[in-house]
C-alpha cells in the first residue's frame, strides 16, 4: 500500500519523501521513482524520526502507512504486541 501511495502522489506531481528503515526497499523505490526523496530512519526511534522530518519538512500532507507484522496465533499474542498493533491502528487512520 505504501509504495502504491507514493507512486500516486509522485504521478500527480507531488514532491514525495519516503521514510523507512528498510534500505533495500528505499533503494528499489528510488530506482523506480528517482525524484522521490528517500530517508532511511527507524520509525520506532522518535528522536531520529523527528530529526529526519524536521530536516525534510515543511510538508503539506502526511500519509502514515507504517505497519507491524508479528506471526503468532491470536490467543498467543503478548500484551506488548497487542498494544503495538493498536498503536498503529489508531495512528494510521
SS3 string, 13-77, reads CCCCEEEECCHHHHHHHHHHCCCCEEEECCCCCHHHHHHHHHHHCCCCCCCCCCCCCCCCCHHHC
At 33-92, the pLDDT tens digits run 999 999 999 887 889 988 998 988 787 777 777 666 777 787 888 887 776 666 544 444
CA angle 60, 30, 46 (to 5 degrees): 55
Residue ranges per structural domain of the chain? 1-61, 63-93
Q: What is the pLDDT of residue 79?
A: 80
Q: What is the pLDDT of residue 89?
A: 44
CA separation for the pair 44, 9 (Å, rounded): 25
Q: What is the pLDDT of residue 46?
A: 85
For residue 26, pLDDT over 70 is answered with yes
Cell of 29: 523505490
Amino acid at each position: 500500500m505504501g509504495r502504491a501511495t507514493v507512486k500516486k502522489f509522485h504521478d500527480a506531481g507531488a514532491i514525495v519523501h519516503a521514510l523507512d528503515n528498510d534500505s533495500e526497499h528505499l533503494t528499489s523505490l528510488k530506482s523506480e521513482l528517482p525524484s522521490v526523496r528517500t530517508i532511511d530512519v527507524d520509525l520506532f526511534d522518535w528522536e531520529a524520526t523527528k530529526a529526519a522530518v524536521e530536516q525534510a519538512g515543511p510538508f503539506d500532507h502526511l500519509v502514515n502507512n507504517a505497519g507491524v507484522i508479528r506471526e503468532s496465533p491470536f490467543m498467543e499474542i503478548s500484551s506488548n504486541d497487542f498494544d503495538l498493533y493498536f498503536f498503529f491502528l489508531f495512528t494510521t487512520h
